[in-house]
Every structure is written in structure tokens, then in C-alpha cells.
Structure 1
Amino acid sequence: MAEAGKVLIVIGGGAAGFFCAVNAARLHPGLQVRILEKTSKLLSKVKVSGGGRCNVTHNAPAVPDLVKKYPRGQQMLKKSFYHFHTLDTVAWFAERGVTLKAEGDGRMFPVTDSSQTVIDCLLEEATKYRVRIDVNTEVTALHQLTDGRWRLDLRGDKSIEANYVCVCTGGYPQADKFNWLKELGHEIQPPVPSLFTFNMPGNPVTQLMGVSVPQAVVKVAGTKLQESGPLLITHWGMSGPVILRLSAWGARSLHDMDYRFTAIVNWLPDYQEHTLREEWPEIRQGMAGQKIYQKNYFALPQRLWHFLLQQSGVAEDTRWADLPAKEQNRLIRNLVSMEFPVQGKTTFKEEFVTCGGIALSQVDAQTMESRLHKGLFFAGEVMDVDGITGGFNFQHAWTSGWLVANSLG
């Protein structure tokens, strides 16, 4: 237990920062805990997550399954999740009156379907355990003093001192934003965006904006990158869980391609090209007299079906029995391996996730303490850890924040 009168400064008022602060204040009653947030907003990602419902965690109770959802950080998480993982998160919030529910895809939300429930819970804990919160307070430098304590320089020529510092600033989009941590000797893995959508400017598919399919397989041509899941067509290109997952796994390689590549979409994940060709004569015979535009055998959204037929050169009044071989071959290819040139990405500022950050070799996986400096800790996305979409980044925030709180003193 941390000694009475000691001070913990948490830099960053997001999920990891709050979870670290409120647990530290609860577990160490004599510890003075203070959150410094450089903006005027607290818990901003919590607020917008999951369309305002807050995807708190994921229904993945087995640690080996859970770590597979993180493109970066798996070795560290294998150790840290055994101390605090998804079931612990569910129990922690339940003890404070916030019940979580699992949806069909495994994502977990408060039963209220409102992120404000989670925000209110964390703010109430902060009030209950007298956590001081300072907004519009930016840390510009950290210095370890000869007695082991820390001096934090703040914007506006002020400084404060603390026994412990936990950095929970989230990911930075530019490498130079890490300079104040680099000056302490920490190695930084260069940051690049990790969750983003695919831009397809001028592609006719964008006219289908709003159309979604519950399951599609998307590959990046020339790589081993492939994911499956719901796909959403937008006015700028493609989004949805399958695209966001692909962007997370491909964060570095897609950055190296300057976000210019070909996405190959299989709209019928139950088929490969050869299996669809094998079954095609039977499908065609069964639908023979019906007009192909009106009879959508594959139960795809009607607008998408018409688009695929148009892109395959199929005339509107064509019956299934009369489909010419050339157009049939094109349609089969478009159904299971349609190519879309991608030229750029879109990231959502409020939900921005990066890969990169503090090198994990310099952080103790059991305590989140810096291996270079005693009393300096990290939690959340400031480290080179990131998960795919679905509550995994929040789970890492809760786990790392909890580990810091438990290891003080």
C-alpha cells in the first residue's frame, strides 16, 4: 500500500487515466490522487464509443482467445490479462451499479445503452475517493528528482511534484508528440493510424451508401491480410467491422503503401469461385424462367444485387436461363472476388486509435511500471498496444489502469 501523504499524478482524463486514478485512490486511502487533462473534456472517447452507447469490453473470458484480438501487444497482454480481464471488468462495473450486456457479436454495452452511464460511474468514483481533476492542464516535461520523486512542468511556467506518475495520454498521431517521453530515454514505436475506413473516390459503389451486408470477406491484394464481418458502404467508400479489423491488422503495411491498394471483396463468404461455379448450373436451372434483376437468389441487398449485375454487364430484362457465358463469368467473379481500388483512408478524430507508442520491452507487464524509471507508469494506448474494434482497446485501458493502481507502493 502506498504511504499516506504520497502523491500520484495521472496524466490524461480518458478511460485508462480514470480507471487508474479511482482504483488507486480506493486501494490506497492515504494517497493523494490527481488527474491532469490537457483539454476541457473528460472521458471523450468513452462518450462517443459504440455510437454513444460505449462498447465497454468484449465477451471473451478466455485470455488466449482475448489476446488474439490485438495486432500489437499480445506477449505483454498474455501476462497482464491474467491479473484483470473481461470478467473482472464486468464485475467491477456491476459492483457500482452498471450492468453490462453482451450482444450477438460479443460486444458488451451497459444495459442502459448510454455511454453516460459509464461516465457517471467513473466520475462518482472520483468524487467518492476525492480524486482531484484539473482540466486545461498540459504537462510539457517530466523530470526525476534526486530523491526519486517527479517534477512535472506544466504549460504556463508552472510545475508540480509527485511520488508517482502514470502517463495515460492515449495515442499521439505524430511521433514528435512523444518527445517529452523520449527525453526520459524511452523508445517510441512510430505511430500510425490503426482503425480507419477505406476511401474509394469516384467509385460507383459509393452510390450505394448506406447499404450493408451482415457478412463479407475482404482481402488486400498482394498480402496475407484478410478479415470477415459486417461491411458498410459509405459515401466515401467502405467501412464496418470487417474494414476496421483489416485496417488494424494492416496498420503498418497499409501505411507503407500510402493507403493505395486493391481491396478484394467476397460478398458471399460461403462460396469460393470454384464452389460457386460448381453450384451455378443448379441455381440457374432452378431460377430459369425468372428475370435475374427481380430474382436475387443470394438474398443480397437489392441495391447491391442490381449494382453487381450492372457491373457485370447483365441487361435488365435477362432471364436466368438466358444469361450469356461472358456476363455469367463476370458476375461470378464480382460476387466472390470483386476488386475495389482504395486511395486513402478516413479516421474519426474522436475515436482515433493508433498503433505505436512506448516500446513494450521498456514496460513491466505485471505492473505497467517503466523499466527505466521507478515511479513512472503507463496505461492505455500511449503504449504500443492496440486491439481491433469491439471493446478490446477499452479492455486494455481498464487492465493497465488497474495494474498501475495495484502496484503502487
Structure 2
Amino acid sequence: MKIAIIGGGAAGYFAAVTAAKEASNEVHIFEKTSKVLGKVKISGGGRCNVTNVIFNPVKLSKSYPRGERFLKKAFGKFNGEHTVEWFKGRGVNIVAEDDGRMFPDTNDSQTIIDCLTDEADRLGVQLHLSNTVSKLTPNENGTIQLTINDSSQVFDKVIVTIGGQPKLESFDWIKNLGHTIEDPVPSLFTFKINHKPLTKLMGLSVPDARVRIVGEKKLNETGPLLITHWGLSGPAVLRTSAWGARMLYNRNYQFEILVSWYNKLPDQELREYVNDQKVILKKKQIKNNNPFELPQRLWDYILQRLEIPETKLWLDLSKKELNKLVEVLLADKYQVNGTTKFKEEFVTCGGVSLTEVDVKTMESKVVSNLHFAGEVLDIDGITGGFNFQAAWTTGYLSGKS
């Protein structure tokens, strides 16, 4: 069987090596650029966040704002545990970190790239770089004709793994086949905040914070929070952006957020804790006695925000000042005016409608022998290795079929 893979990313390579295990299959990867696996290379700060320790299909599927029900069935066939075993069987050990993310033990994404490309070479997968597929034409006999760089080739099966696309027109050649395309909008993006006193703290990280969208009770996420020169980033922000991708797009990225800098105690318990600290630290200066384990620069910023003199003693804090301190620690409000891309994790929600794809084989219900895998589908996960896992899973199922 002659098989074409359109796209040389994670899903494309996994589909290719899975399909090529059948000796009778002739597998070709067509990549429009001069390089393959580009996103694998830069992901996880160059370490490649391969998957996540959540292996249970039901629990794993809950990390996907789009595609949960679809993936729950798919993960029953191939999930994170299978991914770890697959790479281990090819000499690559995948290890977990405390936050659940999993990386190659070399901490180098090139390890994953070499594993995939070596496996493809071993199985005889043929790679065609700088080859753009501009048209797909189904034939009456079930084969599919591809227009590639102004020439044509015919294949028995085609697997589309072109990744997420920022513009709807990029899907026109798929839409023209009769497929429904969910409008693509950004997911996993950072928040732009024009507040110089905050952005002056760029590079500062808070390990356990909470971010909430004002007016949206369900849109709140916890985790590390990073202050940048343009605003806020880090897992807490990225996860919030993923769950709210379409709603925030509809708001033109103009909204308010509440930041909990201290996320260890709820409101009443924190108030009691602050009052206790006033007694314990009574004759000590507030600047040099921070009982919240916050970075010193952030503590100084909070005191300035509350207009509390650095030389003030804890015992001299008024009831009003104590209340304001609790409010800022739990719900510091900021106006978001736009977004910026987070280059390592940026993904797009939207793509080929899942209602038109068979979850068992990733085959189109509209065009026979046409399959999809990866982010070209209307699937996206939160940060933490989930998007790559969706790529491995859908790539495996499409290749195996």
C-alpha cells in the first residue's frame, strides 16, 4: 500500500513509523519546509515535554479543552504509558518531574528527534522536504491524487498532519472536500499587561499562584506564574488561556484577571494568619519580615502597591491595611490588553471537526482513505505534555489503520 503523510511533525512521524512497520507499505512524508520536527526541537525549553504522568484515559482526557470525549476513547488504545514504552523500546528513557511532565532523561529534545528519524530511516520511510501539497483529489477507485509542487502523485491512503493553522483559509483545500472546519483561534498564550511597576519585575517566578478571569467562575488555574517584560506567563496563565481560548478571542483579549500571589490558604484562614503575624512580628519592620515565602522583589512591590512604608513595623499596621494586604495576596486585579505568543507551547484550537472523523482509525467520514492526526484536528490540550500525547495517539491510530 502506498501511503502519503502530509506534514513532518510529531504526529506525522509517529503515523509514518507506525504505518511503515507493515513491510508491504510504502510510506512517504511530504514536508513543505526544509526541516522536520521543528516543534519537538523547541518544546520544553529544548528538552521536549514528551507526555504527562497521567496515564488513565479518563483522567488524561480531562486536560483537553477541545477533544475530551473523542480522546477518552482514543487513549484507551494508546496513551502516555504506551508512549513511554514505545520510546523505551528504542533506547530512550522518559522520566517524570515533580509536576507530572515527562522528558527524555538526556534533557535534550534532539534525543526524541533522532529516535523518530532513525526509526523512520530503519523502516524505509521516504522523506520529501520542501514539498508543498496544494490539492487533494479523491478518485472513484478509492485512491487519492495529491498535487505536490505542481506535479501529481496517486496514493492508496493519505494522512494529513499539517498541525494547527492560524488562518481559516489554510484549511480551504480540506474544506473543499466537504469537511467542516472549526475556526482556528490561539490557545496557550500569555497575557499582556501594561503596568510598568509589575513588568519591572520581569524574570520573577512565583511557584504556586492562581489566575482567575473576572466574571468567569470556571476560568481559574493554579501553578507557577512568571512575570515578563510584557505581562504574565507561566503554566497558570497558559492553562487559563487554553480553557478560555474562544471566549477570550471573542472579547478581543480585553479582560480583567485576579492574581492570587499566595495560594496556600483560603480567605478567612489567611486573615487569621495575617493577624497572628502582626502579633508574632510586632516590633519588626514589615519590609524585612515577609511571612509568605514570596520573592523579596514581589514583596517590595506589594508594599508599594498598598502604599505601606517599608520602615513600618508589623504592630503599626492598621486594620484597613491588613485587609488590603489580604485582598492583594488573594485577588490582585489587573487589566489584560492583548496577548503574546509563547513560542515553545503556542498551539491553535480549531481545525477539522471531530464529528467527521472515526476515532478508531482517524479516517475521514467524508472521504474514504483520508485520515487526520495531530493538531490539524479540533483538539488542543493544556500545557504539560498533553499536546504531544494527542499527537502520538492520533498519529499511532492513523498509522496503524
Unaligned residue ranges in structure 1 (runs of 5+): 1-5
1:122 to 107, 116, 135: 116
Partner-residue secondary structure (3-state), 1:208: coil
Cα contact 1:313–1:327 (8 A) shared by 2: no
Matched, 1:197 2:190: yes
Q: Paired residue for 1:211?
A: 204
CA shift at 1:350, angstroms?
A: 5.8
Paired AA for residue 261 in structure 1: F
Q: Paired residue for 1:98?
A: 92
1:379 to 373, 378, 392: 373
Q: Paired residue for 2:292?
A: 298
Distance (Å, rounded) in 2 between the aligned partners of 1:242 and 1:352: 14
Residues 256-304 of structure 1, C-alpha deviations (whole Å, 9 max, x = no match): 1111111101111122333322332211100100000010011100000
Q: Paired residue for 1:395?
A: 389
2:163 to 159, 170, 192: 170
Cα contact 2:179–2:353 (8 A) shared by 1: yes
Q: Paired residue for 1:69?
A: 63
Partner-residue secondary structure (3-state), 2:64: coil
Matched, 1:366 2:360: yes
Partner-residue secondary structure (3-state), 2:209: strand
> Kindly tell me: are residues 100 and 379 of structure 1, through their superposed partners in 2, closer, same or farther at Cα, counting changes over 3 Å?
same
List structure 1 segments (4+ residues) > 4 angstroms apart after TM superposition. none
Q: Paired residue for 2:175?
A: 182
Paired AA for residue 35 in structure 1: I
Matched, 1:80 2:74: yes
**Percent of pairs identical after alignment?**
50
1:110-149 to 2 correspondences below 5 Å: 110-149=104-143
Cα contact 2:4–2:157 (8 A) shared by 1: yes
Partner-residue secondary structure (3-state), 2:20: helix
Matched, 1:331 2:325: yes
Q: Paired residue for 1:274?
A: 268
Residues 3-56 of structure 1, C-alpha deviations (whole Å, 9 max, x = no match): xxx210000000000000011001x10111000001111000000010000000
Instruction: Tell me how large the CA RMSD over aligned residues is.
Output: 1.0
Q: Paired residue for 1:20?
A: 15
Partner-residue secondary structure (3-state), 2:358: coil
CA shift at 1:78, angstroms?
A: 1.1
Paired AA for residue 276 in structure 1: L
CA shift at 1:159, angstroms?
A: 1.3
Q: Paired residue for 1:3?
A: none
Residues 199-226 of structure 1, C-alpha deviations (whole Å, 9 max, x = no match): 1124421011111111001100011210
Distance (Å, rounded) in 1 between the aligned partners of 2:379 and 2:156: 26
Distance (Å, rounded) in 1 between the aligned partners of 2:274 and 2:49: 41
Q: Paired residue for 2:4?
A: 9
CA shift at 1:131, angstroms?
A: 0.5
Cα contact 1:141–1:153 (8 A) shared by 2: yes
Distance (Å, rounded) in 2 between the aligned partners of 1:9 and 1:231: 42
CA shift at 1:323, angstroms?
A: 1.3
> Kindly tell me: are residues 365 and 34 of structure 1, through their superposed partners in 2, closer, same or farther at Cα, counting changes over 3 Å?
same
Partner-residue secondary structure (3-state), 1:109: strand
Cα contact 2:43–2:345 (8 A) shared by 1: yes
Distance (Å, rounded) in 1 between the aligned partners of 2:81 and 2:8: 24
2:102 to 108, 113, 117: 108
TM-score after normalising by structure 2:
0.98
> Kindly tell me: are residues 336 and 350 of structure 1, through their superposed partners in 2, closer, same or farther at Cα, counting changes over 3 Å?
closer
Cα contact 2:157–2:370 (8 A) shared by 1: yes
Paired AA for residue 18 in structure 2: N
Q: Paired residue for 1:33?
A: 27
> Kindly tell me: are residues 312 and 345 of structure 1, through their superposed partners in 2, closer, same or farther at Cα, counting changes over 3 Å?
same
CA shift at 1:369, angstroms?
A: 0.3
Residues 314-343 of structure 1, C-alpha deviations (whole Å, 9 max, x = no match): 012100001133333222211111001111
Paired AA for residue 72 in structure 2: K
1:222 to 215, 223, 226: 215
Cα contact 2:190–2:342 (8 A) shared by 1: no
Paired AA for residue 170 in structure 2: K
Residues 156-213 of structure 1, C-alpha deviations (whole Å, 9 max, x = no match): x211110000000000001111000000000000000011001112442101111111
CA shift at 1:367, angstroms?
A: 0.6
Matched, 1:307 2:301: yes
1:286 to 280, 287, 305: 280
1:261 to 219, 244, 255: 255
Distance (Å, rounded) in 2 between the aligned partners of 1:226 and 1:202: 21
Residues 50-105 of structure 1, C-alpha deviations (whole Å, 9 max, x = no match): 00000000011211110110011011111110111011000000000000100000
Cα contact 1:13–1:35 (8 A) shared by 2: yes
Residues 224-268 of structure 1, C-alpha deviations (whole Å, 9 max, x = no match): 210000101011101111111001001001111111111101111
2:225 to 217, 231, 248: 231
Distance (Å, rounded) in 1 between the aligned partners of 2:292 and 2:101: 28
Cα contact 2:144–2:154 (8 A) shared by 1: yes
CA shift at 1:349, angstroms?
A: 4.6
Cα contact 2:33–2:129 (8 A) shared by 1: yes
CA shift at 1:406, angstroms?
A: 1.3
